[in-house]
Structure 1
Amino acid sequence: HVTVIDTGVNVKGGFKAAEYVTKAALCGFGEAKTIMAKYGSMHLPAVVAYTDLPAIIAISYYVWPEVMHPPHVKTDEYSAWVSGPGKALKQKPEKVYAKLDYKDEGSVAVLLVQPRGKQLPDESVAEKLANACGINPENLYLLVTPTNSIVGSVQVSARTMEDGFWRLTEYYGISYDRVEEIMTLTPIAPVSPKVFREPCPWADDMIRHGGVLHAWIYSKEGEDLQKMAEEMVIENNPKSFGKSFYQLAVIEKKYIGPEYDLVRLAEEGCGFVIAEACLYDTRVGRMYRAGRVHDNILEKLLSNPW
């Protein structure tokens, strides 16, 4: 039988569990720490996350939509965002692993399963995931982190590093090995049972209007890191700036669609945007910075998202 580790369905979970789950999502090559941070006149819980091997974000952190219906797809089947080190056994998605000189060989796998509701995967779902990894079910460990839980909220906020890394590499074409370090600071959204059903603050709101990214990059001659920093912050993307993620994704339907075209989302400024970006060029020893944390918008989204 598959081992299912419940971090927020039938148990409460908590901040320490969230730190462990985030570390597992980074294959042990990163850390996360929950803290309290000041945002304007507010003090909010926040998560500091970093990795000394940012390529691990592509290997493990990127979601694996082909293996299971994501939560926004209407289906009677179990749906969740799936990510984690287990993807490396099958080298999925292929377009990512085509850029990596890496193959994981083993008989044990760990996956993160992030359902929107409070439901654990049943045995058939677990076996499907084990088969997708190419291992026996008894060798699969599933960390279930519902969006509507402390652990879910924290580990999603830590994904500011995923949004920044994706834009730098998949969108701007910087090779994985030239992104040398990443560190982020992001406020944590409150737990809400109404995510995706009614207006409420989401972890995505925290990333987009409160997420701060620091990335150390070995540049190539001619790369414009200042332009990249400016394009990836939300204040320079009017289709997103000041809007709740509920407004953008559910009401305007500008983020999640059947085709889920990630490049289009980045081009339009609807996806892969953060509040503040600091890019350090390790070739010339210079910082390029854009954006800021929008504490006034965070306060509105947290207290009156309608």
Structure 2
Amino acid sequence: MTQPLLSVNRLAGAPLARLRDDADRLRVAVGRGPHGVTLIDAGIAVRGSIEAGLRVAEVCMGGLGEVGLVSDGRAGWPTWLQVRSSQPVLACLASQYAGWSLAASKEETGGRKFFALGSGPARALAGKEDLFTELGYADRCDHGALVLEVDRLPPEVIVEKLLRDCALAPEGLSLILTPTTSLAGTTQVVARVLEVALHRAHELRFPLANIVEGSARAPLPAPTADGVQAMGRTNDAILYGGQVHLCVEGDADAAHELAMRLPSSNSRDHGRSFAELFEAAGFDFYQLDGALFAPAEVWVSHLGSGRTWHAGRLDMELLLRLWQAP
């Protein structure tokens, strides 16, 4: 297969280099892992930073997205994260989506079992998910990057699997480690606000090829040392504070239906914090209503007719109650 016109791994090389080159200033650590792969620690043994998280997010989007901060206290929260892409399907689903399940048993690791969901452009090298068949996309590149939301280094058996499945030499693989309890981890997860909308649109069977532009924003909470609460905060930021604007082609009625069905308010679980819901579900994601995993508020603009539909709303009262000290 020839190299695709838009290689998410090749395009991710520029933000990855900026992350490595500014490691000291960004409070991240760059080193070598098993077999000599590059390990970038953005929050395990180091403090990390919000700016590091912004750069990790741009790597994760395969160099096809812009991620930044906006100061806006009008909604009651001072710092918001903003994302945009002119290639939203490739950036969000072919690269950013955390869809690669990576697991190793205690016997394989020689200690603790390991589990992580891999996200980022190296997913498109391995192509292990059915999603890539649906997208009709595969990448070919001699280097790749994968983001792991973990609080410890990946074991050798996982690294060997990544090298084998991605067909990379060790010097060509970079692994970025961002625990959700860290500044960078919280930032790069909230930066998935546009991706959450794209994934929900896919679940609703909207033709992905008709989504041509996307922009989004969400409030950026402070991280917390409790893993479940940290996960809850990042999810709540999107479910109750995420705003997404999609520009689409195709049938106008389908665009209207997408706008109405996309917001998280369509879920039976809407209105309760994610941490509370997750605990009530026995910490099993599959017990949660899939409709919850969506932005709070959406606008869908139909390029053929020039019409824009709006649905959903923010629930800043819930977020402020969860995040702000009394």
1:221–1:82 distance in 2 versus 1, CA, 3 Å: same
Aligned residue for 1:182, secondary structure, equals: strand
Once the two structures are superposed, residues 97-125 of structure 1 have per-residue CA deviations (whole angstroms, 9 ceiling, x without a partner) of: 2233432112211101111xx32224443
Q: How big is each residue's C-alpha offset from its partner over 1:19-63, in whole Å with a ceiling of 9 and x where there is no partner?
A: 1111101111111002222254x2332210111101211211122
Aligned equivalent of 2:209? 177
Is 2:18 aligned against 1:18?
Answer: no
Return closer, same or farther for 1:222/1:235 CA change in 2, 3 Å cut-off. closer
Q: 1:208 to 1:304 in 2, by over 3 A?
A: farther
Q: Is 1:206 matched with 2:241?
A: no
The question of 1:244 aligning with 2:273 is answered yes
Return 5+ residue gaps in structure 1 as ranges: 70-74
Deviation of 1:126 after TM superposition, in Å, equals 2.3
How large is the Cα RMSD of the aligned pairs? 2.4
Post-superposition offset of 1:301: 1.6
Partner of 1:193: 225
Select which of 128, 149, 153 maps to 2:182. Answer: 149
**2:293: which partner in 1?**
272
- Measured against aligned partners, the alpha-carbon deviations of 1:249-287 in whole angstroms (never above 9, x if no partner) come to 122348613xx7xxx833xx3x32221001111111110
Q: State whether structure 2 residue 72 is matched by structure 1 residue 37.
A: yes
In structure 2, the residue corresponding to 1:79 is in which secondary structure? strand
Instruction: Write the deviation string for residues 156-200 of structure 1: whole angstroms up to 9, x where unpaired.
Output: 1111111110121x222223221001111001121111122x698
> Could you say if the C-alpha distance between residues 295 and 221 of structure 1 is closer, same or farther in structure 2, counting changes exceeding 3 Å?
closer
Moved >6 Å (runs of 4+) = none
Residue matched to 1:105: 140
Q: What's 1:230 paired with?
A: 260
Question: Which position in structure 1 is the counterpart of 2:15?
Answer: none
More helix by share: 2
Cα pair 1:109 1:139 within 8 Å, conserved: yes
Give 2:81's match in structure 1, choosing from 24, 33, 47. Answer: 47
- C-alpha distance in structure 1 between counterparts of 2:308 and 2:283, whole Å: 32
Gap regions ≥5 residues in structure 2: 1-35, 105-110
2:6 maps to none
Deviates more, 1:132-141 or 1:296-305: 296-305
Determine which of 159, 168, 171 is the counterpart of 1:135.
Answer: 168
For the residue of structure 1 that corresponds to 2:121, the secondary structure is coil
Following the alignment from structure 2 to structure 1, what is the Cα–Cα distance between the partners of residues 131 and 152? 30
Question: How many matched pairs?
Answer: 284
Match of 1:91 among 122, 127, 140: 127
What one-letter code is carried by the residue in structure 2 that aligns with 1:90? A
CA contact (8 A) 1:62 1:83 kept: yes
Task: Specify whether residues 165 and 51 from structure 1 end up closer, same or farther in structure 2 by C-alpha distance, changes over 3 A only.
Answer: same
* Alpha-carbon distance between aligned partners in 2 of 1:273 and 1:18, rounded to the nearest angstrom: 21
Structure 2 equivalent of residue 295 of structure 1:
316
